[in-house]
């Protein structure tokens, strides 16, 4: 073979045959890896759900809502009339805490805030991007329960995110609102369960309230 | 190789002889001469100084393109001259311009192949390379014109957490598929056609790096009969696949306009009008590039005057089609009786953009009329100047369509006048930097002429020198894919 000069030219050595299956594996495996990585790893289910910032005051929803049974609207008073569900001012806390646990160390920032007039700097848990317009009142007065988006707040010591709040997640409900509609009087109830089939009830409520959730871009991105 | 004589009249093969076809390779060249000439350019250890000059210039322009794109991305789309009502400016003009240029390459390599036009062999590689690089330039503009380039993947139907899906009713999405299909098929066609020639360069290479580099590029090609058999089948299939693309891609590009309701865009003649214009501009670009190249690399015997003359004829034909489209548009504007349509075309010819309109008409309709005369078709310098003017005219055609229609639509209160900014201008100029950088690299390192195919149309490829009744059995070939003289003799006997 060596005497024949034409074989001195480069041709692929025999071991390179291994590269063919290797390339197929690398390409398919790489594609699969990237797909799974992006699908599971970058998904809002992975990067958003469970977000629980440390708040300046360890306010326990479990105590206030779960044990004491305070309605959501006592503090988040604008939720039915405004786009924003207001974060309560310090005065709301002091309605009770001027006489309850007045010496608690945990409540020191609240009393300071009350004395100085500087609001407590709560950290927002459910923070949508600035290009999204979400209106609480539009949802609450039609019977979308607080629990549908915020989860069982009444069992949380400190609030964390339970839903991804991604666009796809919003659209899931806008496309099939029946799954999440309840009688308006129960919107703030954390442990409400439908008495009959949710889909049937949802369809009825949808008809009563004439609910046609928009799916165009302009609905949320104005 | 025959020595060059002072008498260069042998280079003129444009006279038709009713007895036999004129040769497509001149100077009495053999297969070996063709290989030596084409490979010699790639193998020349000393890069011509002129190449460095052009390459340096192109690379600088490429830098300008990069800088302008970076500036655009970091600052925002406002750095361009876009203002209401003209929301599509130079970016779309440049996109259509570059995509159109690509079409000549595909026409030459696919349609002329299926039509058995043998003269295509000398220019098809060159034109295909031009196609690839033009499509690369074209691809930049739609990608950057979205403003937020980091979400450009939204153009593709990829499942995502936003449940967002491209709008399949939008011609802009059809465009994404048309152009990406076109780029893929063109790239495959170009590369596959190059494999036998890359193998030739590999086999002649002396330096180990070159041996391995071209060896990898040649994908183990050994010129066996089986290789050739499969190559020819695959080439035919790809040609058949690429042929509809010549018509479809620019038709889809024209839908970007025709599917909208803007007067001046909303016309049914747009697809054929755009395709004719694309081929027109593409051939003009091939001629613009090939005339200096054949002079610098002394390829007048392979890329002959007859090739140039044929391209001039195609430019004449497609230029007339474009001219017909211009006049049809005017006629329909009047004949339809539609006030907006009528206004739009009067505005084109005599409004604020009349200067652009008449540049377009002069370059695209009047200039090609020269090619009725054989003396002009075979005058290389004149042909080159005319081809550049046609390139200019075809850019202005897209400018007129995009800008003049948008600047004055239905509502006079929203009329405006569009002016580009320096960023618009330098981005376009920079795209030529990308084009020429890629092109010059190809000229230096790639087989710019399809050697194997050129050999196929030489008389030596046919036993008995061009006579019919060729022997088509299995003939042992040497590593250049040539039939050795000895074997040929045996076959003939």
Residue range A193-215, pLDDT digits in tens: 998 899 999 999 999 999 999 99
Q: Contact at 8 Å (CB) between B348 and B408?
A: no
Average pLDDT, chain A: 90
- ipTM, 2 decimals? 0.73
Q: Which residues of chain B fall below pLDDT 70? A: 1-9, 462-493
Residues A79 and A187 in one domain: yes
Residues A40 and A109 in one domain: no
| Phi, psi for residue B86 in degrees, rounded to 5 | -95, 95
CA–CA dist B317, B377 (Å, integer) = 13
Residue range(s) defining the domain that contains residue A114: 89-121
Inter-chain residue contact A168 with B161, CB threshold 8 Å: yes
Residue A51 lies in a domain: no
Residue A2 lies in a domain: no
B483 HSE (CA, 13 A, CB side): 20
CA–CA dist A140, A81 (Å, integer) = 9
Residues A116 and A181 in one domain: no
Joined together, the tokens standing for residue B103 give: 């079409």
Predicted confidence at residue B480, as pLDDT, reads 52
Domain count, chain A: 3
Counting DSSP H helices and E strands in chain A, the numbers are 11, 0
The helix, strand and coil proportions of chain B, stated in percent and rounded to the nearest 5, come to 70, 0, 30
Residue A53 lies in a domain: no
Residues A173 and A212 in one domain: yes
Inter-chain residue contact B211 with A168, CB threshold 8 Å: no
The arithmetic mean of pLDDT across residues A7-22, rounded, is 81
Residues A106 and A212 in one domain: no
Residues A77 and A168 in one domain: yes
Predicted confidence at residue A3, as pLDDT, reads 41
A contact set with B (CB within 8 A): 6, 9-12, 43-44, 164, 166-169, 171-172
Residue A32 lies in a domain: yes
Question: Nearest-CA neighbor of A203 among A185, A221, A181?
Answer: A181
Total Cβ atoms within 10 A of residue B424: 22
Question: Nearest-CA neighbor of A55 among A118, A124, A4, A128?
Answer: A124
Residues A183 and A75 in one domain: yes
CA dihedral B485, B487, B492, B493 (to 10 degrees): 120
Q: Contact at 8 Å (CB) between B359 and B392?
A: yes
**Closest residue to B211, CB basis, from A6, A9, A164:** A9
Question: Nearest-CA neighbor of B402 among B258, B276, B247, B268?
Answer: B258
H or E segment at B172?
helix B171-204
Question: Nearest-CA neighbor of A92 among A66, A122, A67?
Answer: A122
Q: Contact at 8 Å (CB) between B487 and B474?
A: no
Residues A116 and A140 in one domain: no
Residues A76 and A115 in one domain: no
Interacting residues of B100 by C-beta distance below 8 A, sequence separation 6+: B250, B253, B274, B277, B278, B281, B282, B394, B398
Residues A113 and A164 in one domain: no
**Closest residue to A11, CB basis, from B161, B205, B220:** B220
Residue A3 lies in a domain: no
Q: Residue B467 — left, alpha, or beta (φ > 0 → left; ψ -120 to 50 → alpha)?
A: beta
Q: With an 8 Å Cβ cutoff, is B227 touching chain A?
A: no
Residue A194 lies in a domain: yes
Q: With an 8 Å Cβ cutoff, is B373 touching chain A?
A: no
Cα torsion angle, B137, B143, B149, B153, sign: negative
Nearest residue in A to B211, CA atom? A10
Cβ-Cβ pairs closer than 8 A, A with B, add up to 38
Residues A70 and A170 in one domain: yes
Inter-chain residue contact A168 with B479, CB threshold 8 Å: no
Nearest residue in B to A44, CA atom? B161
For chain A, the straight-line distance linking the first and the last C-alpha, in angstroms and rounded, comes to 75
Joined together, the tokens standing for residue B256 give: 């970007």
Residue A7 lies in a domain: no
Contacts of A12 in chain B (CB under 8 A): 215-216, 220
Nearest residue in A to B209, CA atom? A10
Alpha-carbon distances of B197 from A207, B34, B116, B219, rounded to whole Å: 72, 11, 21, 11
Q: Buried b / exposed e across B40-63, counting CB within 10 Å, b at 16+? A: ebbeeeeeeeebeebbeebeebbe
Q: Which long-range contacts (CB under 8 A, 24 or more apart) does B223-230 make?
A: B223/B196, B223/B199, B223/B477, B223/B478, B223/B479, B223/B480, B223/B481, B225/B474, B225/B477, B228/B477, B228/B481
Inter-chain residue contact A168 with B212, CB threshold 8 Å: no
Q: Contact at 8 Å (CB) between B363 and B396?
A: yes
Q: With an 8 Å Cβ cutoff, is B161 touching chain A?
A: yes
Residues A198 and A209 in one domain: yes
Residue A1 lies in a domain: no
Largest Cα span, chain A: 104
The arithmetic mean of pLDDT across residues A19-31, rounded, is 94
């Amino acid at each position: 073979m060596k005497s024949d000069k034409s074989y001195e030219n480069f041709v692929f050595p025999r071991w390179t045959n291994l590269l063919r299956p290797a390339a197929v594996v690398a390409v398919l495996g790489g594609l699969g890896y990237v797909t799974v990585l992006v699908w599971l790893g970058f998904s809002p289910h992975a990067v958003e759900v469970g977000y629980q910032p440390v708040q300046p005051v360890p306010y326990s929803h479990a105590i206030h809502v779960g044990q004491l049974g305070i309605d959501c609207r006592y503090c988040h008073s604008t939720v039915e009339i405004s786009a924003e569900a207001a974060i309560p001012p310090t005065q709301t806390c002091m309605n009770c805490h001027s006489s309850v646990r007045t010496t608690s160390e945990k409540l020191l920032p609240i009393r300071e805030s009350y004395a100085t007039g500087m609001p407590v700097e709560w950290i927002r848990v459910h923070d949508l991007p600035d290009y999204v317009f979400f209106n609480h009142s539009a949802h609450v007065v039609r019977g979308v329960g607080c629990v549908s988006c915020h989860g069982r707040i009444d069992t949380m010591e400190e609030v964390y995110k339970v839903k991804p709040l991604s666009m796809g997640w919003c659209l899931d409900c806008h496309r099939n609102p029946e799954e999440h509609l309840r009688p308006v009087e129960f919107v703030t109830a954390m442990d409400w369960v439908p008495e009959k089939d949710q889909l049937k009830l949802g369809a009825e409520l949808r008809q009563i309230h004439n609910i046609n959730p928009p799916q165009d871009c302009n609905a949320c991105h104005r | 190789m025959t020595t060059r004589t002072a008498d260069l009249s042998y280079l003129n093969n444009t006279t038709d002889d009713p007895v036999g076809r004129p040769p497509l390779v001149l100077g009495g060249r053999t297969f070996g001469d063709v290989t030596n000439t084409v490979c010699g350019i790639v193998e020349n250890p000393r890069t011509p100084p002129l190449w460095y000059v052009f390459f340096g210039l192109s690379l600088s322009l490429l830098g300008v393109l990069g800088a302008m794109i970076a500036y655009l991305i970091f600052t925002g789309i406002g750095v361009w001259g876009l203002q209401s009502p003209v929301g599509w400016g130079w970016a779309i003009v440049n996109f259509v311009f570059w995509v159109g240029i690509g079409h000549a390459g595909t026409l030459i390599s696919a349609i002329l192949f299926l039509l058995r036009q043998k003269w295509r062999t000398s220019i098809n590689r060159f034109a295909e390379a031009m196609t690839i690089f033009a499509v690369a330039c074209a691809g930049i503009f739609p990608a950057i014109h979205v403003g937020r380039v980091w979400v450009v993947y939204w153009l593709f139907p990829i499942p995502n957490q936003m449940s967002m899906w491209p709008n399949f009713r939008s011609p802009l999405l059809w465009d994404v598929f048309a152009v990406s299909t076109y780029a893929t098929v063109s790239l495959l066609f170009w590369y596959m056609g190059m494999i036998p020639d890359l193998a030739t360069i590999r086999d002649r290479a002396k330096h180990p790096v070159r041996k391995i580099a071209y060896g990898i590029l040649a994908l183990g090609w050994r010129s066996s009969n089986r290789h050739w058999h499969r190559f020819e089948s695959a080439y035919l299939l790809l040609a058949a696949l690429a042929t509809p693309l010549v018509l479809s891609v620019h038709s889809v590009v024209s839908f970007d306009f025709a599917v909208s309701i803007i007067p001046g865009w909303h016309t049914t003649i747009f697809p054929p009008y755009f395709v004719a214009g694309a081929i027109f501009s593409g051939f003009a670009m091939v001629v613009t590039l090939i005339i200096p190249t054949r002079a610098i690399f002394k390829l007048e015997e392979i890329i002959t005057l007859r090739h140039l003359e044929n391209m001039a004829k195609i430019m004449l034909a497609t230029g007339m089609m474009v001219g017909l489209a211009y006049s049809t548009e005017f006629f329909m504007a009047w004949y339809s009786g539609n006030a907006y349509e009528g206004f739009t075309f009067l505005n084109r010819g005599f409004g604020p953009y009349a200067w652009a309109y008449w540049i377009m008409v002069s370059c695209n309709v009047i200039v090609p009329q020269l090619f009725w005369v054989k003396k002009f078709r075979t005058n290389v310098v004149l042909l080159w100047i005319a081809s550049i003017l046609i390139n200019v005219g075809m850019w202005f055609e897209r400018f007129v369509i995009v800008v003049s229609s948008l600047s004055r639509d239905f509502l006079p209160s929203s009329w405006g006048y569009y002016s580009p900014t320096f960023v618009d201008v330098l981005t376009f100029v920079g795209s030529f930097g990308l084009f020429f950088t890629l092109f010059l690299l190809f000229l230096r390192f790639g087989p710019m002429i399809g050697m194997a195919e050129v050999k196929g149309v030489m008389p030596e490829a046919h036993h008995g020198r061009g006579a019919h009744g060729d022997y088509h059995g299995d003939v042992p070939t040497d590593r250049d894919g040539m039939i050795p003289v000895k074997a040929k003799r045996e076959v003939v006997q």
